[in-house]
Amino acid sequence: MICQPTASHFVDGRYLEDEAGDEIAVIYPATGTPIATVHAATDAVIDAALDAATRAQAEWAALSPRARGRVLTDAARIMRARNRELSELETYDTGKPLSETLVADATSGADALEYFGGLAGTLTGEHIPLGGDWAYTIREPLGVCAGIGAWNYPTQIACWKAAPALACGNAMVFKPSETTPLSALKVAEILLEAGAPAGLFNVVQGMGMVGARLATDPRIAKVSLTGSVPTGKRVYAAAAAEMKHVTMELGGKSPMLVFDDADIDNAVGGAILGNFYSSGQVCSNGTRVFVQRGVKERFLDRLAERVRGAVMGDPMDEATTFGPMVSATQADKVMGYITQGRDEGARLVCGGTRLDRPGYWIEPTVFADVTDDMTIARDEIFGPVMAVLDFDDEADAIARANATPFGLSAGVFTRDISRAHRVIGALRAGSCFINSYNDAPVEVPFGAVKMSGVGRENARAAIEHYSQLKSVYVRMGDVEAPF
Ligand SMILES: NC(=O)c1ccc[n+]([C@@H]2O[C@H](COP(=O)([O-])OP(=O)(O)OC[C@H]3O[C@@H](n4cnc5c(N)ncnc54)[C@H](O)[C@@H]3O)[C@@H](O)[C@H]2O)c1
């Protein structure tokens, strides 16, 4: 087993095993071969993690914010220094090509650690003058936070949650997706090496039941989930029962609008990035591509030509640009949608086939003449399936783009700057792009509206979701009581 970790869990500063938990096989998606086995956390493991986190949180919160920040920036430095090794592990865990993991996973995690490490020393309350009397606020941590991850960006998700949480003085118990359990263990190792106290960042493995245990445990003050909308509804409801804070980063079916006056090559490039990066397994993907009728055929011709250039080879070869689906289940689900697209009358422009080779390979697929009522235009597929829809009129395109319960992202391609801002202003989405798609630098808030989630990750905005304010009223004179 080439990626077997020392043990399944990382609790209180060391690896921990409990073989009583259900076995979880870790599969390399490119070949379908097992690379590791981990065990789901038992109640004893979960308790140990929560107790360690509770103890470490008090110690951590008592440090000066700048001392906390230094640990995070040191962790960022270690992560960058080990980028290749971490990227190779991420490629084994997810199947994403090394050409991607080298630039978008540990590096993005390091960006978050560095950014929030720098921010830690700047987090303050405020002074509120009241004409004689005055008040002040103290920004306090929430306590122990639970992080629950999806399988598409395991390192990035762990860091995007841990970095702001730790910067604010919280501890974290993180449960990776059962499909990709390996990388978060490395994040835990690195944080410890950078000087985080034992127990500050713990990793426990398991299926949804382990996540549910965390979401309902009274020792947890906040739950941050990255996952699908149905899971988000369950976790949000469970957290609400205990009045816990939440961040929900959920699924999407985001629109991308390409107007007649757009630079077609840039629009095609945006559509490729917004549909086929990570083999389409990206929450913010612009999978409904609305193309104005005047440029439709030119857009489709150029798109098909460029998609044919995707290199579906060994993910460890840096020349490979397109990897497999993460699992057999996901590949089956995506193939089901492709069949449904054909059955419902969409025109297959390219792709559509599952490759006859080991692993879970599906060609990048483009459907044209898609209509709003088709299943492939409504459901989040989470695979390499682009739906191209036609439009004539701007207002009509905006209304159709907004006619979805999701609200994660939206993009517009046009050379008309007034139109670009007008359209983005009217689209109901949290993370938007003008003449670009899927950029997610740590300096910019990332999050959703409607069913795609609540709260924001990244940027200063994330601080609001990992800290709370204590208000203190200070009377400068005597207290005047009625009796
Ligand atoms: N908005 C974002 O930032 C973002 C980023 C990446 C992925 N996603 C979304 O994630 C989904 C794909 O990931 P997935 O298939 O791993 O999602 P999923 O909802 O199946 O699982 C997500 C996580 O939740 C856990 N879980 C499942 N049931 C639970 C429960 N009842 N209580 C607590 N935890 C539970 C899972 O074990 C896993 O760790 C897609 O919908 C995608 O759009 C969103």
Is 249 a known active-site residue? yes
- Which amino acid residue places its CA nearest to atom 26 of ligand 1? 208
Assign 359 a pLDDT band (cuts: 50, 70, 90). Answer: very high
Candidate of 26, 96, 148, 204 to mutate for ligand 1, largest count of ligand atoms within 8 Å of Cβ = 148
Candidate of 226, 247, 284, 404 to mutate for ligand 1, largest count of ligand atoms within 8 Å of Cβ = 226
Mean pLDDT of the chain: 98
Burial of residue 23 (CB within 10 Å: 0-12, 13-18, 19+) is exposed
Distance CA 72, CA 127 (A): 28
Assign 205 a pLDDT band (cuts: 50, 70, 90). Answer: very high
User: Residue 391 C-alpha to ligand 1 middle, in angstroms?
Assistant: 33
Which residue ranges form the domains of the chain, and what is each CATH number?
A: 9-251+452-470 (3.40.605.10), 255-434 (3.40.309.10)
Tell me the per-residue pLDDT of 276-327, one tens digit each, with 9 for 90 and over. Answer: 999 999 999 999 999 999 999 999 999 999 999 999 999 999 999 999 999 9
Distance CA 216, CA 213 (A): 5
Residue 213 has pLDDT above 90, yes or no: yes
Tell me the per-residue pLDDT of 102-118, one tens digit each, with 9 for 90 and over. Answer: 999 999 999 999 999 99
In this prediction, residues 170-178 reach a mean pLDDT of: 99
Distance CA 99, CA 91 (A): 9
Using a cut of 0.90, tell me whether the model's pTM lies above it.
yes
In this prediction, residues 65-83 reach a mean pLDDT of: 98
Residue 1 has pLDDT above 90, yes or no: no
C-beta of 408 in contact with ligand 1 (< 6 A): yes
Candidate of 174, 213, 283, 285 to mutate for ligand 1, largest count of ligand atoms within 8 Å of Cβ = 283
User: Residue 62 C-alpha to ligand 1 middle, in angstroms?
Assistant: 33
C-beta of 404 in contact with ligand 1 (< 6 A): no
C-beta of 207 in contact with ligand 1 (< 6 A): yes
- Which amino acid residue places its CA nearest to atom 9 of ligand 1? 227
Tokens of 75: 């962790």
Tokens of 127: 């002074």
**Residue 103 Cα distances to 66, 91, 325, 446, 447, angstroms:** 28, 12, 19, 19, 22
> Which residue in 100, 189, 249, 394 is the catalytic one?
249
In this prediction, residues 68-89 reach a mean pLDDT of: 98
C-beta of 269 in contact with ligand 1 (< 6 A): no
In this prediction, residues 417-434 reach a mean pLDDT of: 98
